[in-house]
Amino acid sequence: MKNSMDGSKLQAQRQNLISQIDELVEERNSHLSRIDEFSEAKVFDLHWFSLNGALKFVRKIQKAMENSSKRFSQRQEVTLITGWNNRIPWNTSIKTTLLDIYGDAIRVAENNPGRLIWSFEKKWTYADHLF
């Protein structure tokens, strides 16, 4: 019984540490809250996130882009720095998972395989359909 409780306690501590790391990595990308202030380059670094932490953060990016006022005027792109995915062969990578989830909306950068380019199309308005 004692080993079982020790194991669950260790698992809880591990999960707590992973959450703390994810929070620190997200703080490094704190400019997400000012996404409309960026002129062109929207770059977010996903290094050091856990897979689940990265997916949660990417959903926050998606929500911020969907609510962005800048998307009314033009197509926008976000760069996600994931790394090349050549160090963790036994684990599902952030890069591979994002490519699977977002399909055609996301692609590997031509000049750097450690970066993903995520395209957000222009929001169409009623006035766009008039012409």
In sequence order, the 6+-apart residues with CB closer than 8 A to the CB of 91 are: 51
Q: Return the pLDDT at 75.
A: 76
Q: Return the pLDDT at 131.
A: 57
CATH number of 2-130: 3.30.1370
Q: Return the pLDDT at 5.
A: 58
Q: Return the pLDDT at 46.
A: 92
**pTM given for the model:** 0.75
Domain boundaries, the chain: 2-130
Q: Return the pLDDT at 110.
A: 93
CA distance 38 to 22: 24
CA distance 71 to 23: 28
pLDDT mean for each 10 residues of the chain (131 residues): 69 86 77 66 87 93 82 77 69 87 92 92 65 57
Residue type, 61: I
Three-class secondary structure assignment of 81-102: ECCCCCCCCCCCCHHHHHHHHH
